[in-house]
């Protein structure tokens, strides 16, 4: 089975990100493919490299980054939602005249077309969060 995943909630305000991660991990462990995880609305906050959770708490961004590195999962952050929330990659930071970027390794910024493509290419598109 080939899955696309949509995450609409931030990493620490809602259970959706943890549940999406656990779902993706279980799918990969069972031999399924996770084609893309698309982060939308407050879900884009999963991709900031500046989050510093307490040492005794899980680091959701690091979990997503490791999944991208180990399994080649495409982690896409919606550009419009990211800009509204101050998340910028290097290219967009330069374009906007900002002095730095804050996207975590393994994530990339792109548009809603990537979500549509995931819906077309995958057997299932699973949505986590409102």
Nearest to 126 by CA among 7, 29, 9, 39: 7
Which one from 67, 78, 81, 109 is the annotated catalytic residue? 78
Residue among 103, 91, 116 at smallest CA distance from 38 = 116
Are 10 and 129 in contact, with CB atoms under 8 Å apart? no
Question: Does the active-site annotation cover 78?
Answer: yes
In whole angstroms, what is the distance from residue 95 CA to residue 78 CA? Answer: 17
Distance CA 88, CA 4 (A): 23
Spatial distance between the Cα atoms of 35 and 116, rounded to a whole number of angstroms: 12
Active site amino acids: 78
């Amino acid at each position: 089975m080939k899955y696309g995943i949509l995450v609409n909630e931030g990493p620490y305000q809602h259970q959706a990100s943890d549940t999406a991660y656990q779902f993706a991990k279980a799918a990969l462990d069972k031999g399924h493919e996770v084609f893309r995880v698309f982060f939308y609305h407050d879900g884009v906050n999963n991709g900031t490299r500046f989050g510093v959770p307490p040492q005794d708490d899980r680091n959701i961004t690091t979990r997503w980054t490791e999944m991208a590195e180990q399994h080649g999962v495409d982690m896409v952050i919606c550009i419009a939602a990211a800009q509204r929330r101050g998340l910028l990659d290097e290219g967009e930071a330069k374009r906007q005249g900002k002095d730095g970027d804050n996207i975590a390794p393994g994530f990339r910024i792109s548009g809603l077309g990537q979500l549509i493509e995931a819906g077309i290419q995958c057997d299932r598109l699973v949505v986590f969060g409102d």
